[in-house]
Amino acid sequence: MGRLLVRRLVATLPVLVLVTTGVFALLHLTPGDPIDAMMAESVDASVKEALRRELGLDRPIPVQYLAWVRRALRGDLGRSIRNREPVVEDVGRRLRPTLQLAGLALAVALALAVPIGLVSAARRNTVVDGAGTAFALVGICMPNFLIALLLIFVFGVRLRWLPISGYTDPFEEPLAGLRSLALPALTLGLAFAAVIARTLRSSLIEALAEDYVRTARAKGLSEGHVLAGHALRNGLIPVVTVLGLQLGALIGGAVITEYVFALPGVGRLVVDAVFARDYPLVQGVVLLIALGYVATNLVVDLLYGWLDPRIRYR
Amino acid sequence: MESTQPNGTPRAVSRRAFLRASAAVSAGLAAAGGRALPRAHAQGAPRRGGTLRVGFYIEAATMDPHLSGSKIDRQVYHNLYEPLFVLDVKLGLKPGLAESWQQPDPRGIVLRLRRGVKFHDGTEFNAEAARFNFERMRTDPRSVRKGEVASIDTVEVVDPYTIKLHLKRPDAALLAALTDRAGMMVSPRVVQERGPDLERNARGAGTGPFQFVEWVKDDHILLRRNDGYWNKQGGPYLDQIRYRPIPDDTVKLASLQSGEIDVMDYVQPRDVAAVKADRNLVEVDVPSLASFGYMLNHTRPPFNNRALRQAVASALDVEQIVKAVWLGVGVPSNGPIPPSSWAYDASIRPIRRDLARAKAKLAEGGQPNGFSFTVTTNNIPINVQEAEVMQAQLAEAGITMRIKLVDSAALLSDGNGRNFEMITYQWSGRPDPDGNTYQFFRTTPGVSLNWSGISNARLDALLDRSREVADRTERRKIFGEITRILHDELPMIFIVHPIEPKAFSPRVQGYEPVPDGMMRFKDVWLK
C-alpha cells in the first residue's frame, strides 16, 4: 500500500511537468499580453515597458518557465498580474466553493442514481426501466446551462424558494450556504446522476447474470438482498471509474455552472485569468487541476482494491 | 479600452428622449432641455435606511483610483471617493472638492478647495492633500493616470485651501478629466500607511457620501453611509450599498426580477424590450459618452488607399445596423463625439449608404470588381452579429469581408501592434470631446491609441488647437471641422453611440442618470 502510493506519486511527476510546460507554452504563444489587457486605456508605452520588466515578462519564455518552476518547488506560485495577490491565496479561496459544490453534486447524483440504477436493473425492460432511461437521456442530452436556467426560472423567479446567484459558505451559515449551493448542485447533480444511473444499470445487469447471483437466489435469498448484498458491490467498479473521472473534472471547476450561478469557484477563476492573460494565475490553477485529477484517480485505484479484493496492486 | 471586455459595453432614457436631448444640445439650448433625462420616478419624501444591492457584470479590479484601468471600479469610486469637479446630467462641470476655479493665464489653473472636508479616516482634505494626490498620479511607477495629468508641470500650494496647477501647455480638457479618477482625492495618510494594500482595502481612504467597509473577493463590496459627509443637502440616505458581481446577463436580470438585487448596471439590448414591459421593473436609458466603430489601418493595404476606405464607408448602412443589431438601443454615429456632449454637431449626418458611390470609389481605388479584407472583432454575440450584417451589406457592393474573432486581450495586442486591416473599437468615452478624439487621431509615434496610424497635418493642427482654445462655441466649431475631416479620411468607421440601459426595482428612488453611465447613489433612497 505504502509502496503503491510512493510509486504512483513518482509517476505523477512527468504528468505535472508535461502539463505545466504545455500550458506555459500555449499561454505565451496565444496572442495578447497581460499588461495591454490590464492597462488598455493607457497610451504610455514606457509605463507598460517598466511593468513588463518588473514582472519579468521581457525575459525569454524558457527562462520564465524555469523561474516559475524554481519558485513553485518552494511553494510560491507568484502573484496574479491583474490584482497582484498571491496566486496561492486566490486559488485557495476559490477552491472552497468548488469543492463544496463538487461534494454536494456528488451527493445529489448518488441519491438519484443509485435507486434509479438499481430499480432499472432489477425491473429491466419494464415501464419503470423506461422511465429511468428517459430520465438519463434528458440528463445527458440537456446542456448544463439550459438545466441551470430552467431551475433558476422555476425555483428562483417563479416560486422564489431558492436564491439564484451568489455564494454563502455552508460552514459559516449552514442553512443559507446550502440554499446558495442548492441550484448549482442540482444542475451538476442531474447530469452526473444520468451518467451514473446508466453505468450502474448496465453493470448490474451483467452482474445479475453471474453464477454467484444464481447461487444466492438458489439459497433462497430475497431479491433485494441479492441486489444490494451481492450484485451491487460488483456492479460498482465501472461506476467508481466514471465517478473518478467526473470528480476530477469538477475539481477543475464546473466553469459554466459557476459562471451562471455567480459562484466564486476555480472554474470562473481560470476562465477570467485566461481572458486577462494572467499567466501566473492560469499556471497556478492548471497545476491545481492536474493535481486534482491525479489525486482522484489515485483514490479510485485504491477503491478498486477495496471493492474487489481480486484486484491487487504490486 | 475597458469596454471591450465581454458584456462590458457601456450604453442606457428612451431613444426618443435621447434624440430630443441631443437635439436640444445641438441647438445650443442646453439649458432648456432639462426634461429630456428623466429622474427615475422620484416620488414622496426621501427616507433614510436600507441596503441597496447592486448587480455588476464583473468583479472590481482595485480600490485605488490612481491604479485603476477598469470601468467597473469607477462605479464604486463615484460613491466612495470624490473628484475635484462633478459632472451634472448635461455634462457640465459642477464644483466637487474644488469649490471654484480660475484661469489667470492659459498655463495656470487656480483651484479653491472646499473647507471642512474630512477623509473617512478623520484626516483633513486640504491643499497639501491635493498636491500629494497629483504628485502620486504623476510619479508613482504604477500610476495609470499619467496620461490624464500629463499637461501638469508643477502643483503649487498657494494657501492651505488653494492650489495652482502650472501647465506645460494649455489644456482645455484637463478640468473635465478631473471629474473622474484623475480628480479623485485619496487620503495621504492611508496611502502612506497602507501601501499596496489600499488596492484591496479602501477603509478611510475617501471623502465621499459612503465609506468602505469590506471587499470579500468575488462575492461583494460593502459600503456604508458616511454620517459626517460635508454636504448636508439631500442624501446620503442609504445605510449600505452592496455590490455583487453576476457575470451572466440572463441570471442578473432574473436576480433583479426575483428581488435579489435592486439595481443592475447594464441591460443587454436584447433584453431591453422585456424589461420595459415588466411592470415590476423600472428601466432607465442613460445616454453614454461612448463611441463604437471600426478602425481602418492606414499603414498597409488595402486601407492605405483612401478611395477603398470610402468605398467601404459608402457600402455600409449604419442606420440598419443600429436598428437590427443594436435594436435601437443607441444612435447611429456621425463621428467620435456622442449626442450627449455639448460639442455634438447634429447637422453632420452619419455617412449614408450609397452603392453607386461605393462602386465609383472602388473604381477610383483601382478595384472596380471589388476586393476582400479581414475585420478583427471581439468574440461576443453582439459584435459577431454586427460583423455578419456588415459582411452582407458589403457583399452587395462586391466587397468581401472575412471575419476574424478574437478575445479582448488578443484584440488589444493586434490593435497596439497595428496587426489588422479593420478592427473593432469600442471606446467608453470621456466627458470632454478631447478624450474621444485627440489620442485616436493625432499623429503619434510608436504605440498609441491611434491604431489606424492616421497622420494628417490639418487634423493635427485642429486637434492641437482644440486643446488651446477655452471657449466652448469655438471648440465646438473645431470639433465639427475635425469630424468632417474624419468622414473624408476615415481612420475609423463610426457605427453607434450606444445607450446604457439600467434597470431598477421600483423601490429605488431618486436616481439621476449622468451620461457617463456612473451610478451615484448619494441622493438615492429606498421606498
Q: How far apart are CA A188 and CA A260, in angstroms?
A: 12
DSSP E strand stretches across chain A = none
Question: Chain A contacts of B448, Cβ < 8 Å?
Answer: 43, 45
Binning pLDDT at 50, 70 and 90, where does residue A305 land? Answer: confident
Q: Is the dihedral of CA B485, B488, B491, B495 positive or negative?
A: positive
pLDDT digits (tens, 9 = 90+) for B289-324: 999 999 999 999 999 999 999 999 999 999 999 999
* Grid cell at residue B336: 467620435
Q: How far apart are CA A166 and CA B218, in angstroms?
A: 9
Q: Do B408 and A275 touch (CB under 8 A)?
A: yes
- 3-class secondary structure, B340: coil
Q: Does B463 contact chain A (CB < 8 Å)?
A: no
Give the torsion through C-alpha atoms of B389, B394, B398, B403, to 10 deg. Answer: -70
Please tell me the distance in Å from A140's CA to the nearest CA on chain B: 23
Look at A226-230, B1-5, B173-177, B370-374 and tell me which has the smallest mean pLDDT. B1-5
Q: Is B325's pLDDT higher than 70?
A: yes
- Name the residue among B2, B218, B219 with its Cβ closest to that of A41: B2
Q: What is the pLDDT of residue B23?
A: 39
DSSP-assigned beta bridge partners for residue B496 = B292, B332
Q: What is the pLDDT of residue A42?
A: 63
- How many other CB atoms are there within 10 angstroms of residue B446's CB atom? 9
Spell A156-190 as b/e; 16+ CB within 10 A means b: bbeeeebbbbbbbebeeeeeebeebbbbbbbbbbb
pLDDT digits (tens, 9 = 90+) for B332-390: 999 999 998 888 999 999 999 999 999 999 999 999 999 999 999 999 889 999 999 99
Q: Does A30 contact chain B (CB < 8 Å)?
A: yes
Q: What interface predicted TM-score (ipTM) does this complex get?
A: 0.79
What mean pLDDT is predicted for residues B41-52?
79
> Side-chain half-sphere of A250: how many Cα atoms within 13 Å?
26
pTM: 0.81
Binning pLDDT at 50, 70 and 90, where does residue B447 land? Answer: low
Please tell me the distance in Å from B283's CA to the nearest CA on chain A: 19
Cβ-contact B124, B188 below 8 angstroms: no
Give the torsion through C-alpha atoms of A105, A107, A110, A116, to 10 deg. Answer: -90
Q: Is B32's pLDDT higher than 70?
A: no
- 3-class secondary structure, B245: strand
Q: Select from B120, B113, B81 the least CA-distant residue to B97.
A: B113
Q: Which of A81, A165, A169 to mutate to test the interface with B (most CBs of B within 10 A)?
A: A165
Q: What is the pLDDT of residue A40?
A: 67
> Side-chain half-sphere of B306: how many Cα atoms within 13 Å?
9
Binning pLDDT at 50, 70 and 90, where does residue A41 land? Answer: low
pLDDT digits (tens, 9 = 90+) for A91-109: 888 888 888 998 899 999 9
Give every CB contact of residue B180 below 8 A, 6+ residues apart in sequence: B74, B83, B430, B431, B516
Q: What amino acid is encoded at A249 in this protein?
A: A
Please tell me the distance in Å from A304's CA to the nearest CA on chain B: 39
- Cα-based distances in Å from A161 to A151, A169, A188, A268, A279: 11, 19, 19, 25, 40
Q: Do B248 and A264 touch (CB under 8 A)?
A: no
Look at A125-129, A222-226, B214-218 and tell me which has the smallest mean pLDDT. A222-226
Q: Is A80's pLDDT higher than 50?
A: yes
Binning pLDDT at 50, 70 and 90, where does residue A312 land? Answer: low
Return the percentage of chain A with pLDDT > 90, whole number: 4
What mean pLDDT is predicted for residues A17-21?
88
What mean pLDDT is predicted for residues A31-39?
78
Q: Does A103 contact chain B (CB < 8 Å)?
A: no
Q: How far apart are CA B363 and CA B360, in angstroms?
A: 5
Q: Does A2 contact chain B (CB < 8 Å)?
A: no
Residue located via cell numbers 439550459:
A146
Q: What is the pLDDT of residue A1?
A: 62
Binning pLDDT at 50, 70 and 90, where does residue B28 land? Answer: very low
DSSP E strand stretches across B290-356 = 291-296, 330-332
Give the torsion through C-alpha atoms of B250, B253, B258, B259, to 10 deg. Answer: 150
Q: What is the pLDDT of residue B446?
A: 64
